Amino acid sequence: MASSVSQFFRPKAAGKTPATTESPRIRTLLLGLALLFLACFLLIPLIEVFASAFQSGLRAYGKALSDPETWSAIRLTLITAAIAVPLNVLFGLAAAWALTKFEFRGKNFLITLIDLPFSVSPVIAGMIFVLLFGAQGLFRAVLDHGLNWLQAGHGLPQAWIDGLSRALLCLADFKIIFTPIGIVLVTLFVTFPFIARELIPLMQAQGREEEEAAMTLGAGGLRTFLKITLPNIKWGLLYGVILCNARAMGEFGAVSVVSGHIRGLTNTMPLQVEILYNDGKISAAFAVASLLALLALITLIAKGVVEWRARRAGMTV
């Protein structure tokens, strides 16, 4: 009896325990459903994008991408990403460092603010900037109130009134909405959580012992960051940069609200796809869409490489 019980509870050989208890038929069915879903909603549409892009030939494809308005959209998209991503790197590093290395009041509130763009619709984000910086926005109302206050005099020297009035008029003429500046601002808003939220849990898991030891030995803050912190978070930082860049180049909703759809000036690549499609230029629209899809594939490959290198380094991203 004892031998039969011991045989029943005898542990299985290492590496032989199945991950689940489902039968091979069920596992095959689940895998088949997953592959079918990926094929129907990812692979087939992706193939269709490239097929439609090249259906008129390589010459038509090149002509579509070399169109001045399309090239302007490509250039604006790249410039926007080139501005937004480095700024988000600086913000993400500063926010992650402050939240993981120091204790202060309002820490949880700051984390909530960082997560805000994840929960706010991009269209609402665009409307926020319109309400702030539009022709009838809060910023313009404050400037008008300041001008009216100056014109009332209030005993100020006339030279001061003239100088401040000119400064306020210059600010009033400075346009943000329906310009590339507005596009950069909303792109910053919708993308700034990516790097910070990637670094915060990573830096929390690593703790503060190494930095404290370095500073105890006489290293300054900058040297500690460059020699200790940055090497430990480099793969997580690169992973966040990749995700941030992908979102910056592919953002549609918020950019659509603040851009004004001015052809050749404030259209990014996603907006250009919509305009070309609405104009009936299907091949040209798919040509630009294929370029976006290619950038997405490059992003996925880079993401996979970073994850692989991070696993080899014993890190999780």
Predicted local distance difference test score (pLDDT) of residue 9: 43
Please state the φ and ψ torsions of residue 255, each to the nearest 5 degrees: -65, -35
Predicted local distance difference test score (pLDDT) of residue 17: 53
User: pLDDT higher for 146 or 72?
Assistant: 72
Predicted local distance difference test score (pLDDT) of residue 2: 46
- Decide if 65 contacts 168 (C-beta within 8 A): no
Give rounded-to-5 percent helix, strand, coil for the chain: 80, 0, 20
pLDDT tens, residue by residue, 260-289 = 899 989 999 999 999 999 999 999 999 999
User: 185: closest CA among 265, 107, 267, 130?
Assistant: 130
Predicted local distance difference test score (pLDDT) of residue 251: 92
pLDDT of 199 above 50 = yes
Using pLDDT thresholds of 50, 70 and 90, give the confidence band for residue 10: very low
Using pLDDT thresholds of 50, 70 and 90, give the confidence band for residue 3: very low
Lowest-pLDDT range, 58-72, 116-130, 214-228?
214-228
pLDDT of 84 above 90 = yes
Lowest-pLDDT range, 5-14, 66-75, 138-147, 290-299?
5-14
- Write 256-260 long-range contacts (CB < 8 A, 24+): 256/123, 256/126, 257/123, 257/125, 257/126, 257/127, 257/129, 257/130, 257/186, 258/126, 258/129, 258/130, 258/177, 258/178, 258/182, 258/183, 258/185, 258/186, 259/178, 259/182, 259/183, 260/177, 260/178
Q: What is the mean pLDDT of the chain?
A: 85
Across 183-211, average pLDDT: 88
The DSSP code sequence of 92-147 is: HHHHHHHHHH---TTHHHHHHHHHHHHHS-HHHHHHHHHHHHSTTSHHHHHHHHHH
pLDDT of 70 above 90 = yes
Predicted local distance difference test score (pLDDT) of residue 229: 81
What is the CATH T-level fold of the domain 58-124+178-312, as seen in this structure? MetI-like fold (1.10.3720)
Predicted local distance difference test score (pLDDT) of residue 5: 43
pLDDT of 13 above 60 = no
Predicted local distance difference test score (pLDDT) of residue 18: 54
Predicted local distance difference test score (pLDDT) of residue 180: 94
Supply the pTM of this predicted model. Answer: 0.81
